[in-house]
Amino acid sequence: MIETALNERSTDNHVREDRVFENGNPRTRLSAPRSVLARERAQIARAMLADCRFCAHDCGVNRLAGPNGLCHAGAKARFFSAQTEVSDELELIPTFAVALSGCDLRCDFCITGASSWNPHAGAGFDAGAVAAKARAALRNGARTIMVRGGEPTVHLPAALELVSLLPETAKLVWKTNAHGSAQARELLDGLFDVWLADFKFGNDVCAQRLAKVPGYVRVVEENLLWAAGHNELIVRHLLMPGHVECCWRPVAEWLAANLPGVKVNLRSGFWPAWHAKRHAELRRAVTTPESDRAVALAREFGLNLIP
């Protein structure tokens, strides 16, 4: 039943037929108002918690029965922040950012580790109340509404419910670690205007060591290619101390080869947070020479850096 519902709306063929371009960016033309589709998909997503495969860990656990997966999230979402901020990309700010607790990755340097590693952190998520705040923020000048975490993919039912309560014209941003599954992508197709996606590690060894995630690079690349074909995409890379050559260089090289012209935000404000001290090279900030080298690499590869 779930498969049928999804296939009716967004099989590959269907999506291809309904792809349009707006301001030069691909966009899936929705067959119904966004709020209506989001509400339907939220119900589908909730049912899919019985066999959760929202992220690439592909646990297949029944989250309706409890927090059994690697993310430790149950069926109910919590959130640890919802406020208007100006620290994201200039073209997105001011953004009303909603941060859902919990994540499927275990990045030791996570700046919100206490909330991102713990899906029970924060307050219970009331989509109606948060949507009301978001609408107020829009009235007060917020340019976008951003759904993030932690990792919002973990809480797709709640995220979709929130979308169903937001104005049709609101510009929505999906801030993700790009470790979601094809199922998750189908549920999200056409609902968010911008995917703001991390490409954190340039190789699987660093990903496994620092975030305990296997097969990272292939999954992220798959998600980025999909996102670039379905919505506006901004790729974000947090420059890590000591990881310019092993992580940033291959990321930059891949982006140049596979997503030429994609907007890239290279962030050098690494903050040695959470469990960063477990790794000798992550006990400090990024140095100016490292930053300069990273920017030089970006220019060498012709990347479209945005502030």
Partner 1 sequence: MKKRSLNADRKSSGEKLVSELLILPDGRILVHNLTRPFAELLAELNPDCEQIASRSSRRNEMKADITHPPSHCSDAASHASSGHELSQRT
Which residues of the chain form contacts with partner 1 (CB under 8 A)? Answer: 81, 83-88, 90-91, 93-94, 107, 109-112, 116, 136, 140, 148, 175, 177, 198, 200, 236, 238-239, 266-273, 285, 288, 291-292, 294-295, 305-307
Q: What is d(CA 305, CA 157) in angstroms, rounded to the nearest whole number?
A: 33
Distance between start and end Cα atoms, the chain: 44
Beta-carbon contacts of 272 under 8 Å, excluding residues fewer than 6 positions away, are 109, 241, 282, 283, 284, 285
Looking at beta carbons only, is 93 or 246 nearer to partner 1?
93
Q: What minimum distance in Å lies between the beta carbon of 305 and partner 1?
A: 6
- The size of the chain, in residues, is 307
- The smaller minimum CB distance to partner 1, of residues 99 and 160, is found at 99
Taking alpha carbons only, the member of 112, 126, 272, 269 closest to residue 177 is 112
Please report how close the Cβ of residue 85 comes to partner 1 at its closest, in angstroms. 6
Closer residue to partner 1 in complex, CB, 91/253: 91
Q: Which one, of 139, 201, 186, 188, lies nearest residue 162 by Cα?
A: 188
- Residue 49 or 239: the one with the smaller Cβ distance to partner 1 is 239
- Report in angstroms how near the CB of residue 273 gets to partner 1 at its nearest: 8
Nearest distance, CB of residue 88 and partner 1, angstroms: 8
Backbone angles phi, psi at 271, to 5 degrees: -120, 115
Compare residues 43 and 208 and give the one whose CB is closer to partner 1. 208
Give the Cα separation of 211 and 224 in Å (integer): 19
Nearest distance from residue 56's CB to partner 1, in Å?
17
